[in-house]
Chain A
């Protein structure tokens, strides 16, 4: 094929493309620039330990929700199918707790909001005990529930990193559960007088639970620094601080921020 022939061919192709390209651009533009719109508001139904988020969009798109107890840190995620009728079930939530959420798709944020889970119901045994014991009010909840991680964890922005590293040690389901387990260990430290050491130089409390080999450290204000299971058998013995008893712990509890 000669050079002239090639040039004529190219000119022919370009002349045809100049008619087609604007139409393609218009079509493509209509796809790219169409924004997914939310129809109405998300509807939330809650129980003590779960919540269901439902919302509708004008076109089918991905289903994604981010949620957490701190509105600035929605660390937990749930995802669903591509659809226009969106529904997500959030499980393993703490009872009587306020959660904040953001819904949308992977590319689009549609709405934010908050909801509160209901209080946990009294167990059957507690109801029986309160029924047969005169003068006692029925217990509204079971064993004391851990406050949200935003209250119990020392540096909330570090919780995910600690959970990623140590959560497997305790089969923690999520960062919130991991933080709750650390809080519960501190409660057991008080009730069972577990081995404890207090570092007076910075107020760090170290707790060791021999039967589970769980180690936790807490700040002076009672919030958690970490929870993990040491591999080294002499780890506890090498920790600094003076040995203290459970009776010295009563004033060191985390407070609402």
Chain B
């Protein structure tokens, strides 16, 4: 049976292996292969929030970040972000609801 996957609240990558934060608020320490945000480290240790990190990633051109895990075929980072924005408008993301800043995307 395929394990459930989770969406990255920073870039919308749909296949994180773990939920970014537990119900007690702890980070999963998973590094998103798309944007390289490490939950529990980039935020809790470096003090960078999702919006700031997302803006920086967009400014850099939304590169695929993992050096060993290949980007999915026909990967379109803009579509990822659009899916994230859609989900954010339909429901709250548990733990930290992202406020999507789409100005930087336009």
Residues from chain B with Cβ under 8 Å of A225 in the complex = 28-30
Contact indicator B44/A235 (Cβ below 8 Å): yes
Contact indicator A217/B45 (Cβ below 8 Å): no
Residues from chain B with Cβ under 8 Å of A204 in the complex = 22, 26, 28
Contact indicator B26/A164 (Cβ below 8 Å): no
From A26-34, A39-47, A105-113, A237-245, give the one contacting chain B.
A237-245
Residues from chain A with Cβ under 8 Å of B36 in the complex = 161
Q: How far is the CB of B12 from chain A (nearest CB, A)?
A: 19
Contact indicator A226/B29 (Cβ below 8 Å): yes
By secondary structure, the B interface counts as loop
From B55-63, B64-72, B81-89, give the one contacting chain A.
B64-72
B:38-97 near A, CB below 8 Å: 38, 40-41, 44-47, 66-69
Closest to B65 in A: A161
Query: When chains A and B are docked, how far (Å) is the Cα of A88 from the Cα of B57?
Result: 39
Residues from chain A with Cβ under 8 Å of B46 in the complex = 231
Closest to A225 in B: B29
Kindly count the residue-residue contacts between A and B in the assembled complex, taking CB atoms under 8 Å apart: 71
- Sorting the interface of chain B by its residue count into under 10, 10 to 19, 20 to 34 or 35 or more gives 20 to 34
Partner of B24, one of A155, A160, A164, A199: A199
Q: How many chain-A residues does the 8 Å CB contact rule pick out?
A: 28
Contact indicator B24/A240 (Cβ below 8 Å): yes
Residues from chain A with Cβ under 8 Å of B24 in the complex = 199-202, 240-241
Q: Is B100 an interface residue (CB 8 A)?
A: no
Contact indicator B45/A235 (Cβ below 8 Å): yes
Query: When chains A and B are docked, how far (Å) is the Cα of A162 from the Cα of B68?
Result: 11
Partner of A232, one of B28, B47, B69: B47
Q: Is A221 an interface residue (CB 8 A)?
A: no
Q: Mark A220-257, 1 if CB is under 8 A from B, else 0.
A: 00000110101110010011110000000000000000
Q: Is A173 an interface residue (CB 8 A)?
A: no
Q: How far is the CB of A213 from chain B (nearest CB, A)?
A: 12
Contact indicator A199/B26 (Cβ below 8 Å): yes
Give A residues with C-beta under 8 Å from B: 73, 75, 155, 157-158, 160-162, 164-165, 199-202, 204, 206, 217, 225-226, 228, 230-232, 235, 238-241
A-B contact pairs, 28 of them (CB 8 A): A75-B68, A155-B17, A157-B68, A158-B30, A158-B33, A160-B68, A161-B66, A161-B69, A164-B67, A165-B31, A199-B22, A200-B24, A201-B24, A202-B19, A202-B22, A202-B23, A202-B24, A202-B28, A204-B22, A206-B26, A217-B29, A230-B41, A230-B45, A235-B45, A238-B44, A240-B24, A240-B25, A241-B26
